[in-house]
Every structure is written in structure tokens, then in C-alpha cells.
Structure 1
Amino acid sequence: MDGATRFYVLYRWAYAEPESSFDDANKLAKSVGVELDALAGEFQLLDRKGDKVWLPIFSERLGRETRLKMLQNALKEGALATRPKIDQLHLALYLWEKGDLETLTSILGQTGVLTEDDSLWRTAQALLEIEQGQNSGVVCQEAKVLAQLLGSKRTLLRKAETAQGDMRQLRFL
């Protein structure tokens, strides 16, 4: 699993609240082999203000135009599979919440998430288990959408496989 995703899951496990000190977050980032500046800059996974770090949930993260656009561009360029799993999961959660199942199943196919044991689903399950034990309101919202997405995993995978088959047939013609 990539460092950005490991950081996100470990952060959620280690801290009950989305906010922590820069020093604590920096130690955690280094322990998984990533730089906090890269997580804030290149990956746009967290926000930093002074000596505080904030790890937004998917809806806060993708609610900002620049972050959503970054992932939409990766999708258009066929490069979403090269992004960290947490990016793929956050986009899946965002699309699920918006009710855009067609794009969601397309993304699953494009990123190769066609089996139940893919790391995207394992990451979602780990986050759900972590977040169900926390009382923070924003984290509870993410847990709710994670539970809904995981509950529909088999249906989404069937639709993604069907879409992949349709694309192969179109290429053959």
C-alpha cells in the first residue's frame, strides 16, 4: 500500500479528532515513508495552519474545487490508477454520496478494482472499523458513507465488470 494511504489510515486510528500537532503528524508521516509537505502539497491530503495539521474527510477534501479537479483530471487522463488508494477511495465516496454510480463503476474498472479483495475495499473496511469507534461528527459522516459503499460492493463490482466487458466488445468492433 502507498505511503499516503497508510498515513491516512494510521492518522485516523491514532487521533480521534481530525486535528493534531504538526510534530505528531510529521512523526507519523516519516514512519510510513512520506513527507508531510508532500501530503499537504502534491497529494492535497491534509491542511496545515501554523503548528496544527488537519486531516479532512472525503467530503471536505473534495468539496474544494482544486482538490476535486485534481482527481477529475487524473480520471480524464486515465491516470487515476497511479494515484494513492486514498484518492481513489475518496473519489468513490464522493461519487457514491452524489449518486453518480455510472462514473463510480467506470472508475472501478479504470483503476482495476474488479475483485472484493482489492486494497481499495480493505482500506475502506479498515477506515470504517476505526471511524465507527469515534464520536467526532465529521468522522461519523465519513463512516456512514463508507458503510453504504461497502454494503453495495458486490453490486458495484458486477456493474464494473459488465462495463469492462462492454468496452472490450466495442473495441473489438
Structure 2
Amino acid sequence: LNLVGLLDTPTSGVLAIRGRDVSHLDEAALTRLRAETLGFVFQFHHLLPGLSVAENVMLPAAALEGGLHPRQRRHALELLANVGLADQADRLAGRLSGGMQQRVAIARALMNRPPLVFADEPTGNLDTENSDAVMSLMLDWNREHGTTFVIVTHDPGIARRCGRVVRMVDGRLVADGPPSDVLG
């Protein structure tokens, strides 16, 4: 994920995003491309505990636009409503439960309306109920907005809910297709 998420630089080959070779872009261009094109949901939410929930969601837009603006807050509140947390917008992020924090992380990943979101074990630290809620959020968003989610998981139950599964073993692609074909 670090490579395709433009966080690491390839040592060989070509890395293309939307048909454009991005292998040799400078850091400023990569940062802008990441902000405009990609969203990230990490296993550990990486929220800033001293900021409000809404401020955490707005961070990607603030980085892209050089500061916070009222329209960003409106969009952040819409996203928080989508993840069931509009009533928590002004609460400090560090005071939320783990499941709530992960839903805030999803809203943050969607703030700049990226066409592609990478989710690295987004349910890895959640109980079954919160895992189900997080997966439902991502799958619903995919259906309603066309956003592609690349979800890394070791949980076959999570993988079965996806439309396509790419299975890797020891860094090698071993299967690619519908969950029923790949997972049996």
C-alpha cells in the first residue's frame, strides 16, 4: 500500500495513477496528487486527539487548500452524518470509542472526494459489531458514489463482502476474482 499510495518511491518499474506515470514526480507534486486522488484509512485511525472530530475530518482539505474554510466544515458535517457521527462533530477525537474513531477516519479519507481509498486492516482493531458497521459504510459509499476501496485484510469474512478479491501470499499474487472463486 505504501508504494501504490505514493508514500514510498519505486526502485524500478513504472507506477501509474489514472494512466499517468508518477514514478518520478517530486515530493510537492506527489503530495498534491495524494491529496486530490487518494484517501487512506489506517488500521490505527491516526486522529489528532486534541482536535475536534470535525477538524480531524477537515485536515485533508485544509492541507490541499492552505487552511480551514467554512465550506470544508459543511462538507465534513455531511460526511460525519454519513458515518452516523454528526452529533459528535465538536467533541475531541480522543474521547471517542475505537469504532467511532475508525468511522471518523473513513470520513476523513473521503473529505477530498478521492476516486480511490486505501484501507489497511480498517477493521483489525474493532469488535464484530463495529467491523460490520465500518465495512457497510465503505461498501455503501462504493455503491452510491463509485469510490473504489482497496481493502487489505486477513479476515475472510471481510473479504467475502467485497466484489473482488486479490489474494497474495509471501508478496506474490496467487488468485484474483470474485470472493467465491478466490476464497472457496
- TM-score scaled to structure 1, two decimals? 0.36
Which one has a larger percent helix, Structure 1 or Structure 2? Answer: 1
Which one has a larger percent strand, Structure 1 or Structure 2? Answer: 2
